[in-house]
């Protein structure tokens, strides 16, 4: 007979976050509930409230984790690009067109997050944090590439809008362009914005 073992609290909390992401991707915002998350995680419904104040906090923490996961993928792409500021900036932009960022499951999860930002203050707050972090990283890379740029904020916003649109199409599947073509478009837009 196998002895009962308790999962590490951090592991259990993280498994609930992963389960929440899967439920959001599979069922959308309307299908997420304490019961659905706990069923996906294979735990009793009361366990979620042990780690989170409620489903809204679980969703917000899932959003934060997804943002961190994307941030890690972006950082890895930039690190792999070497020391050239232009190559690092292009790597940051292009990473959105490849897994793990360009993914139907990630898109489905994000659609659920976005739909909750108007009704869930905590989700909206985390959305602001995640996008601010993304733009800060982009602004820093823009300033490293073009130190004379007075205000990197607007170029970062413009590039973010382009990247989001291309990412959306690629993640939906059957986009009328390839990831390589998306990268070329991002490079052209970058050159148009920053010269």
pTM for the full predicted model: 0.90
| Rounded-to-integer distance, Cα 161 and Cα 25, Å | 23
Is the model's pLDDT at 34 over the cut of 60?
yes
Predicted confidence at residue 7, as pLDDT, reads: 57
pLDDT digits (tens, 9 = 90+) for 101-140: 999 999 999 999 999 999 999 999 999 999 999 999 999 9
pLDDT digits (tens, 9 = 90+) for 55-65: 999 999 999 99
Convert the chain into a string of H (helix), E (strand) and C (coil).
Answer: CCCCCCCCHHHHHHHHHHHHHHHHHHHCHHHCCHHHHHHHHCCCCHHHHHHCCCHHHHHHHHHHHHHHHHHHHHHHHHHHCCCCHHHHHHHHHHHHHCCCCCCHHHHHHHHHHHHHCCCCHHHHHHHHHHHHHHHHHHHHHHHHHCCCCCCCHHHHHHHHHHHHHHHHHHHHCCCCCCHHHHHHHHHHHHHHHHC
| Rounded-to-integer distance, Cα 101 and Cα 122, Å | 23
Average pLDDT over residues 61-81: 97
Is the model's pLDDT at 36 over the cut of 90?
yes
> Residue 86 in contact with residue 78, Cβ under 8 Å?
no
> Residue 79 in contact with residue 48, Cβ under 8 Å?
no
* Nearest Cα to Cα of residue 95 among 194, 189, 195, 179: 179
pLDDT bin (cut points 50, 70, 90) of residue 5 is very low
Is the model's pLDDT at 18 over the cut of 60?
yes
* Nearest Cα to Cα of residue 46 among 7, 16, 10: 16
Average pLDDT over residues 159-175: 94
Integer CA distances (angstroms), 144 to 3, 75, 88, 141, in order: 56, 15, 9, 5
């Amino acid at each position: 007979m196998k002895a009962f073992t308790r999962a590490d609290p951090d592991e259990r909390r993280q498994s609930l976050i992963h389960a929440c992401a899967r439920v959001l991707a599979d069922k959308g915002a309307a299908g997420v509930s304490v019961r659905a998350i706990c069923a996906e995680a294979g735990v009793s419904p009361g366990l979620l409230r042990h780690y989170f104040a409620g489903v809204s906090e679980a969703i917000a923490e899932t959003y934060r984790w997804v943002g961190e996961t994307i941030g890690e993928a972006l950082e890895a792409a930039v690190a792999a690009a070497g020391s050239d500021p232009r190559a690092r900036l292009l790597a940051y932009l292009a990473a959105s067109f490849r897994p793990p960022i360009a993914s139907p499951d990630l898109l489905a999860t994000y659609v659920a997050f976005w739909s909750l930002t108007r009704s869930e203050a905590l989700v909206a707050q985390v959305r602001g944090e995640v996008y601010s972090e993304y733009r800060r990283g982009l602004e820093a890379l823009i300033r490293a590439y073009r130190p004379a740029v007075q205000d990197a904020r607007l170029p970062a916003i413009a590039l973010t809008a382009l990247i989001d649109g291309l990412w959306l199409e690629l993640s939906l599947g059957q986009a009328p362009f390839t990831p390589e073509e998306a990268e070329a478009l991002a490079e052209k837009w970058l050159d148009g914005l920053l010269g």
